[in-house]
Amino acid sequence: MYFIITICFLYIIFDFNYFLRSGFTVISSRFYEKRCGLNDTTTIYGFCTTQDIDILVKHMNNARFVREIDFARYHFYDRTGIYDKIKKIGDIPLHVASCNRYRKSIPIFTAYKIESKMVCWEEKTFVMEHKFITLNDGFVRALVLSRQSFQKNNSDIMFKGIPGADHKPECPEEVKHWLRAIEISSAKLRKKD
pLDDT digit string, tens, across residues 69-111: 999 999 999 999 998 888 888 888 899 999 999 999 999 999 9
**Is residue 151 scored above 90 in pLDDT?**
no
Residue of higher predicted confidence among 192 and 48: 48
* 119 — pLDDT class (breaks 50, 70, 90): very high
- 118 and 39 in contact (C-beta within 8 Å)? yes
- Binning the chain into helix, strand and coil, the percentages to the nearest 5 are 40, 25, 30
* pLDDT recorded at residue 93: 87
User: Residue 56 corresponds to which amino acid?
Assistant: L
* 172 — pLDDT class (breaks 50, 70, 90): very high
* pLDDT recorded at residue 70: 94
Taking residues 152-165, what's their average pLDDT?
86
Phi, psi of 29 (to 5 degrees): -70, -30
User: How many percent of the chain have pLDDT more than 90?
Assistant: 56
Q: What's the rounded Cα separation, in Å, for the pair 43 and 40? A: 10
Domains in the chain, start-ordered, CATH in brackets?
2-185 (3.10.129.10)
**Is residue 193 scored above 80 in pLDDT?**
no
pLDDT digit string, tens, across residues 8-55: 887 778 777 888 888 888 888 888 888 999 999 999 999 999 989 989
CA distances from 156 to 50, 75, 94, 121, 180 (A): 42, 20, 16, 9, 21
pTM equals 0.89
